């Protein structure tokens, strides 16, 4: 009996220590952090690591459930009555940020003023924290050589039309994948005589024929398949492609289309009626703080804060890239029509 009392007393005395290790003091002296945070995220491991740094800082038990953007949004909608996650980290772009706004909590971070005007929280629920490169062409140098091509001569989108590459290109489905949709709008922006004109669609039709009836359902299958030699070119996006180079891959190289490459702001949002609301809001504040942006800069995505540079030497500076700027409103307004047009062109080319 005496032993039981001693154990109980020790446990009670230890409680303040546990809470002290968890919650941190805010500037006004109130306790913040501790507890849990459940995250749905399509982000790569390198970018997802930033949220673990956040968890360690504030003593928060972070659970990250990795899945594609589409699945994240489907779960959020289906779980409306009983949310199973607190935030969606990544994958919230201009278009779906508007479409799914009713499923996200209204919250504007206290650090929103530190974000450049073009990337501020515009609709009250999407906190933009990094820039995703829409156009990254991953080249498997070994496969190129087997096809009789010089990988150093590959410069951009027009080179995708080389006859030798037909059937050797990995591309996602713009009607189902957010990264493939961003790739399509990048093509339409830079491959016509004018942005988004019929000449651009004519080029897209030629490109679709080069796919030879093959389209991939997973964005990760594109860069992984190119790395393994299944494809000569992966029409992908910057983050995972640079990640391969950072991890030491030597058989692939990264090409930013000379015709122009777009960077889009990626966002994070709090799920409506999140169970860990205070921690979710705390993360929104942290990810666009100077500390949070420096953690983003350690990944293979680019922080929205232009004063903070990426640490990976494999990332080409903007000064060496032909950067193009997308008309977000136009693309958003035409999304359904353009996706349907892509699908129709692909179906016709696959017959």
SS3 212: coil
Boundaries of every domain in the chain: 25-133+264-303, 136-259+319-349
Task: Determine contact, residues 83/273, Cβ cutoff 8 Å.
Answer: yes
**Tell me, which fold does domain 25-133+264-303 have in CATH?**
D-Maltodextrin-Binding Protein; domain 2 (3.40.190)
Domains 25-133+264-303 and 136-259+319-349 share a fold: yes
pTM of the predicted model as reported, rounded to 2 decimal places: 0.78
Query: Which of the four pLDDT bands, split at 50, 70 and 90, describes residue 22?
Result: low
**Tens-place pLDDT, residues 303-349:** 999 889 898 899 998 989 999 999 998 998 999 999 999 999 999 99
pLDDT of 294: 96
Three-class secondary structure of residue 301 per DSSP: coil
Query: 220-232 pLDDT, tens per residue?
Result: 999 999 999 999 9
Q: Judge whether residue 57 has pLDDT over 60.
A: yes
Assess contact for 195 and 236: CB atoms under 8 A. no
How far apart are alpha carbons 304 and 320 in whole angstroms?
Answer: 18
CA–CA separation, 325 vs 333, rounded Å?
A: 17
CA 11 to chain centroid, in Å, comes to 44
Dihedral, 332, 336, 131, 271 alpha carbons, nearest 10: 90
- Residue 174, classed as helix, strand or coil, is coil
Is-contact 95 335, C-beta < 8 A? yes
Quickly state the pLDDT bin for 24 (edges 50, 70, 90). Answer: low
Domain 136-259+319-349 falls in which CATH fold?
Answer: D-Maltodextrin-Binding Protein; domain 2 (3.40.190)
């Amino acid at each position: 009996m005496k032993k039981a009392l001693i154990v109980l007393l020790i446990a009670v005395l230890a409680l303040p220590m546990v809470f002290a290790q968890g919650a941190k003091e805010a500037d006004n002296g109130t306790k913040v952090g501790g507890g849990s945070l459940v995250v749905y995220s399509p982000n790569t491991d390198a970018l997802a690591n930033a949220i673990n740094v956040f968890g360690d800082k504030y003593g928060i038990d972070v659970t990250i459930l990795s899945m594609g953007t589409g699945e994240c949004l489907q779960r959020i909608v289906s779980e409306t009555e009983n949310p199973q996650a607190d935030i969606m980290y990544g994958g919230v772009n201009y278009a779906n940020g508007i479409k799914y706004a009713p499923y996200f909590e209204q919250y504007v971070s206290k650090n929103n003023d530190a974000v450049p005007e073009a990337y501020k929280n515009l609709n009250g629920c999407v906190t933009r924290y990094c820039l995703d490169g829409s156009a990254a062409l991953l080249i498997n140098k070994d496969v190129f050589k087997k096809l009789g091509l010089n990988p150093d001569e590959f410069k951009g989108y027009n080179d995708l039309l080389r006859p030798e590459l037909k059937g050797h290109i990995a591309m996602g489905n713009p009607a189902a994948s957010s990264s493939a949709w961003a790739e399509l709008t990048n093509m339409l922006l830079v491959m016509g005589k004018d942005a988004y004109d019929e000449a651009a669609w004519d080029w897209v039709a030629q490109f679709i024929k080069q796919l030879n009836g093959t389209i991939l359902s997973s964005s990760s299958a594109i860069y992984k398949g190119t790395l393994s030699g299944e494809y000569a070119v992966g029409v992908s996006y910057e983050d995972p492609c640079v990640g391969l180079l950072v991890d030491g891959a030597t058989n692939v190289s990264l090409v930013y289309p000379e015709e122009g490459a777009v960077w889009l702001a990626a966002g994070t949002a709090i799920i409506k009626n999140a169970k860990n609301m205070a921690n979710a809001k705390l993360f929104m504040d942290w990810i666009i703080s100077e500390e949070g942006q420096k953690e983003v800069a350690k990944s293979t995505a680019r922080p929205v804060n232009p004063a903070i540079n990426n640490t990976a030497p494999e990332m080409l500076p903007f000064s060496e890239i032909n950067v193009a700027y997308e008309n977000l409103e136009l693309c958003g307004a035409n999304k359904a029509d353009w996706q349907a047009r892509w699908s129709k062109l692909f179906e016709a080319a696959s017959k």
